[in-house]
Amino acid sequence: MENQIRVKSANKYIIDVNDDGDTIEFDVTDTDLASKVFKMADRIDELTKKAEAEAKAIEEREDKPIHEYRLSEDKTLSLTQNQKDSAALYASFYTEARGAVDIVFGAGACQKIFGGSNYENMFNDLFEQMQPHFKKMGINADKIKKSAAEKYAPSRATRRALR
């Protein structure tokens, strides 16, 4: 016989997140749940500010072509260093922000909720959809939603860089 214990809470809050029947769950008896949600929101805010600063720096620097693709006899497509760096910035931002969400919502939660796609206001949408659930769990959803709306609305520079 192995030495082991399993402590399970009877107070799980389970949310169906897609048409495939995938769920995320929260332990409402976790006294740190609200703190974890606020830390997640702060981390996404931090990542957003960092991405905006990097996007602005990319936008302001001189750009240069790095690849040219011949599409036809008289047409070519040029890709630039700034486009490449913007794409890398976009990928990094969403990978890290999804990771912050997954810490609170459970491993793979963003994949269940959003699939493999990222879009500009996905975290705003998530907080909006979670508002009634946060309320039921005793987390101040109004404060989180207002904070998310103010924090995660990307600037014009970020929107341009992330396209």
Over residues 10-22, the pLDDT tens digits come to: 688 889 999 999 9
Question: Is 61 strand, coil or helix?
Answer: coil
Residue 77's SS3 state is: strand
How far apart, in whole angstroms, are the C-alpha atoms of residue 49 and residue 127?
18
Please give the pLDDT value at position 140: 64
141 or 53: which leads in pLDDT: 53
Which has the closest alpha carbon to 34: 154, 163, 143, 151? 143
Question: Using one digit for the tens of pLDDT, what is the confidence trace for 56-104?
Answer: 999 999 999 998 888 888 888 889 999 999 999 999 999 999 999 999 9
Q: How many CA atoms lie within 13 A of 16 on its CB side?
A: 4
pLDDT band, very low/low/confident/very high, at 42 (cuts 50, 70, 90): very high
Task: Determine contact, residues 25/12, Cβ cutoff 8 Å.
Answer: yes
Q: Which pLDDT value is given to residue 68?
A: 86
43 band by pLDDT with thresholds 50, 70 and 90: very high
Q: Provide the 8-state DSSP code for 65.
A: E
Work out the percent of the chain whose per-residue pLDDT is above 90. 55
Domain ranges of the chain: 31-161
The arithmetic mean of pLDDT across residues 119-140, rounded, is 88
